[in-house]
Structure 1
Amino acid sequence: MNFNHTQDFYEHIKGADILEHLKGFLTHEDPNIRAKACSALGNMCRHNSYFYSLLVRINHLVDRCSDGDKRTRKFACFAIGNAAYHNDFFYEELRRCIPQLANLLLSEEEDKTKANASGALSNLVRNSNKLCQDMVSKGAMQALLKLVEDCSVVIPNPSRKDAISESPLKILLFALYKMCTHAPCRQFLRTSDRYPVLGNLRESGDDTISEYASAILKKTAQS
């Protein structure tokens, strides 16, 4: 039977009463279990907000962004991104993960983890402006721009789809574009020493990168 992510399927998961167990697994001593718990919660929040009100609190998920295990950190960023995607229900609780996500962008992490962290930051401004000031004051925008600058040194070859999919550059630029919806973020970008890198990326040779860079520059021209 193909449930196709219908609410009936979600109700079966709810009826199985596994949410508390999953949240408990977030602090399990086995890092594989912590990582899989993050992945499961991320997938449960992927398609709609059905489970948001059932999860109620996700403090332990935020803590997993600074977990000692790299796979757990990667899936925690994935889960937080989905917990922030559909509405701003968790925004206040997720506020404290902003500096952790920023730190991951500047750390020796896998590109996929950095892409997940960028996506999570993007979603934290997707549904309201509650956290846009924090994006500046907690260092998120600075980290995004720093990583954009680092990634722009070696632009992925458009003919190498594997390199493009592995590079977080496009997701970084998309996150910056979403943040530019909010005036404090636009103001920060305009005054940043790294702002000129966006102009350089317009001539990157990759259509998507060029389009994102141009869109950000157009947004930041607004008051």
Structure 2
Amino acid sequence: MPEVRIKAEPRTEFGKGAARRTRRAGRVPAVMYGHGAPAQHLSLPQHELMLALKTPNALLRIEGLSGRPGLALPKAVQRDPIKGLIEHVDLIEVRRGEKVTVDIPVRVSGEVFAGGLLDQQLVQIAVETEATNIPDGIEVDVQGMEVGTAVHARDLALPQGTTLQVDPEVLVLHVLAAPTAEQIEAELGEAVPEAAEAPEAPEAPAAEAEAEAAGGE
């Protein structure tokens, strides 16, 4: 995975007011941890960071701080729930050759056999890999898979130097039998029960009926 160079600035003001001022200036408050060193408080350019984090597990080359540039991975990202802008990011410092545990995407290609329905249980999976060589994902070809076929974690083709960090028996995806038109119709019928019939009006008591008859004579 290529490194993304990003210019950082030290951050000396803290609190909600300082964070708002940082965001108004087009930057994102951030904290970088790692290797037993004190946490570094910094800010990063909003636009460049948004572009970089479009790639899962983006490897950031942090420049502009004291000392030589450092490498970091995004650990936690907070976004505005409405605008989607990044409000804060936690970074974990890494080194070349170091192993890290990350979640990488599981991507599916192809079409299952006619009459089958693909059920993907995992869209990403935890692996251990070199921090500076994180795979961008794992591809699973389901072309022509028949009903009953299953792919477990142990079946995935992992890149060299990458190992699973989940139970090998975990189900990644399988092919189910697609429901027939009759089954769908039956399920829809059960979901919409017939309207209850309106109760019949009670009959008038005999005394009332006789009174009405006498009055009509």
- Give the TM-score normalised by the residue count of structure 2: 0.27
Q: By percentage of residues, which structure has more helix? A: 1
Q: By percentage of residues, which structure has more strand? A: 2
Q: Which has the larger radius of gyration?
A: 2
- Give the TM-score normalised by the residue count of structure 1: 0.26
